């Protein structure tokens, strides 16, 4: 079921936050995220999707494709090859899934399988599967909703009137107060908050376009029924 008009969504995000240009790979990555959202959790709070997009934008450096951790876990315990599986569990995905236990959790939660047989859909036994857009999107949605990464969940920051995209950075990382050297004095939490505002506005416009299209379709259907002689349920003799 389509919840969002893709054309309207990309028209808005092309201008903000992408500054007027979009690469096809960015479009493909964002569409993969939207496809999984509509298939898995179409009725969830739309702000959750806006914040997932914002997180992906920050974590991938605006590439909007699942990526590998830049230094492949060098110097980190999770950067060592596992002696049983032969895999290295450094960060991969739209958000950086790390450690063997979390790769195994992704397998269990997403029903990916847990066998080393080739070919395998398992992330634990073939870590590069975490880079597949559909798997990476599901890990991001479900992981952020259920608190896989740090215990904090989307509902803790976006629920009813609660709307805290700055604080929501705690879901992934405790670095919201840090000001990068390249950010002109803006903290990471506020950088992602800005992305969130842009993505959520685009999603609202895209959803409204679908609702308008559905309304117009329903009006045409009602008009056609009247013209074919169906009784108008709004006017009784």
Domain ranges of the chain: 1-65+133-224, 67-131
Q: In 41-99, which residue ranges form alpha helices assigned H by DSSP? A: 46-59
Say what the pLDDT of residue 130 is. Answer: 97
Q: Is 44 exposed, middle or buried (0-12, 13-18, 19+ CB in 10 A)?
A: middle
Say which residue the tokens 């269990």 belong to: 108
> Is 33 within 8 Å of 10 (Cβ atoms)?
no
pTM above 0.85, yes or no: yes
Give me the average pLDDT of each 10-residue run along the chain (237 residues): 92 97 97 93 93 97 95 92 95 95 94 79 94 95 94 96 97 96 96 98 95 61 57 52
Say what the pLDDT of residue 230 is. Answer: 54
Say what the pLDDT of residue 114 is. Answer: 75
Say what the pLDDT of residue 116 is. Answer: 75
* 67-131 fold: Endochitinase; domain 2 (3.30.20)
């Amino acid at each position: 079921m389509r919840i969002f008009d893709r054309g309207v969504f990309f028209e808005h995000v092309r201008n903000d936050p992408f500054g007027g240009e979009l690469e096809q790979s960015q479009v493909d990555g964002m569409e993969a995220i939207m496809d999984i959202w509509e298939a898995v959790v179409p009725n969830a709070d739309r702000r959750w999707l806006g914040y997932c997009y914002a997180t992906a934008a920050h974590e991938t450096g605006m590439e909007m494709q699942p990526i590998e951790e830049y230094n492949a876990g060098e110097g980190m315990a999770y950067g060592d090859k596992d002696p049983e599986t032969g895999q290295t569990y450094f960060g991969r995905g739209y958000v950086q899934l790390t450690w063997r236990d979390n790769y195994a959790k992704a397998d269990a939660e997403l029903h990916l399988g847990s066998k080393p047989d080739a070919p395998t859909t398992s992330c634990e036994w073939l870590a590069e599967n975490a880079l597949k857009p559909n798997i990476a999107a599901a890990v991001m949605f479900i992981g952020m909703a259920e608190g896989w990464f740090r215990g904090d969940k989307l509902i803790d920051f976006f629920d009813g009137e609660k709307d805290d995209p700055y604080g929501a950075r705690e879901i992934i990382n405790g670095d919201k107060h840090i000001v990068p050297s390249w950010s002109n004095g803006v903290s990471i939490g506020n950088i992602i908050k800005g992305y969130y505002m842009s993505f959520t506005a685009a999603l609202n416009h895209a959803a409204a376009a679908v609702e308008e299209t559905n309304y117009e379709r329903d009006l045409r259907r009602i008009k056609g029924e009247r013209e074919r002689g169906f009784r108008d349920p709004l006017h009784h003799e």
